[in-house]
Structure 1
Amino acid sequence: MRVLIKSGTIVDPSERLELKGDLLIEDGIVREIAPEISVPEAQILDARGCIVAPGFIDLHVHLREPGRED
């Protein structure tokens, strides 16, 4: 399966990468990062105005007992 993430701000601190462009994922593996990618038969996700990154951690998470909401 091919997924093409289009027009996002791609950030990867480990590679010192920050660019506006496209990211192609094939079978769960990042295959290409470029300013513009055109691929037939890919699911396209519009990432305009979004940040695309390998992962984020919520540093403000509150771990509580199930059901407690305060």
Structure 2
Amino acid sequence: MNNHGGAREGAGRKPKENKKIIKAVRLSPEILESIQKLYPNRTLSSVIEEALEKLIKKEKES
């Protein structure tokens, strides 16, 4: 009998609990340029996520 092949139990990457969702967003060139100038050392995703979190928090408070 051949014991080769097949996945080992517990092998491979463990799934992330809070996996982020990939979504395409369209921005005007002016907005993108402003974000890049204001936050040169941050990713676009982190800037957008933080801004949306603040907006949602503000909306919930009002």
TM over 0.5, yes or no? no
Higher helix share: 2
Higher strand share: 1
Higher relative contact order (CA 8 A, sep 6+): 1
